[in-house]
Amino acid sequence: MLSNKMKITVHPEKLGDPSQKQVGFYMKYASFVLRTLRRPSFQKFLSWMLRKENIEEHRVRDVQVIVFPSQRKNGNGLAGHCNTNRGRIQIYPKTLKFCQELMQESGKDKFTLYAGSRARAALIHELLHLKYANDEEKVRELTKEYFAVFAQNRSAQNSHMTSIYNMIFRPEAIENADFSGKIEVARKISP
Ligand SMILES: [Zn+2]
């Protein structure tokens, strides 16, 4: 089971000198992400996706939920990383500053939905890299489709889901990506 390979990991060298508040926040964030990714409904979905893509589950050695965020050189936060040789996947949080702003703007519920969805999308993305290696375009395209498959059950219940989808995918996608169109695509590949 994928869920048994998941754990929270602190990279001591990247720790810098965080305040008590930062440590507390990021620890809470990481345990929330771990719980979210381990939920049986999502685990079931991942097993289905791996089967569909012919990715053998044993290719995943471990999934690390990294406690502190990682900034890319261009300033964009890294959502995940996959070492395809080792079968090691790492999932990163957003920065405390971003999270505080989102919470102030949109409230705690929307923030929670965003953080969980972003982690799910990151894990889907990195798992797909095990098969599509450096084909980033293909991985991004499939990530959107698979994420939409998982999200469509929730979108009916949660009015925030469409805007969450856009927040996660818009920075890297075409400006006017049409969520309903993606759902159409998603239905074609859903179980
Ligand atoms: Zn990628």
Enclosing domain of residue 168: 2-189
- Number of domains composing the chain: 1
Cβ count within 10 A of residue 106:
16
Q: Average pLDDT, whole number, for the chain?
A: 84
Say whether 161 sits in a helix, a strand or coil: helix
Strands ordered across the beta sheet of 88-91: 6-9, 62-66, 88-91, 80-83
Helices 40-52 & 20-38, crossing angle to 10 degrees? 60
The alpha carbon of 19 and the centre of ligand 1 are apart by a number of angstroms equal to 31
Q: How far is the CA of 41 from the centre of ligand 1 (A)?
A: 24
Ligand 1 centre and the CA of 146: distance in Å?
14
* 75-102 pLDDT tens trace: 667 899 999 999 999 999 999 999 999 9
Q: How far is the CA of 120 from the centre of ligand 1 (A)?
A: 14
- Give tens-digit pLDDT for 2-58: 999 999 998 765 656 788 898 999 999 999 999 999 999 999 999 999 999 999 999
Structure tokens at 163: 């805007």
What is the pLDDT confidence band of residue 185, given thresholds at 50, 70 and 90? Answer: very low
- How many Cα atoms within 13 Å fall on the side-chain side of residue 151? 33
Ligand 1 centre from 44 Cα, in Å? Answer: 23
Would the pTM of this model clear 0.95, i.e. be above it?
no
Better-predicted residue by pLDDT, 161 or 26? 26
Is 148 in contact with 165 (CB distance < 8 Å)?
yes
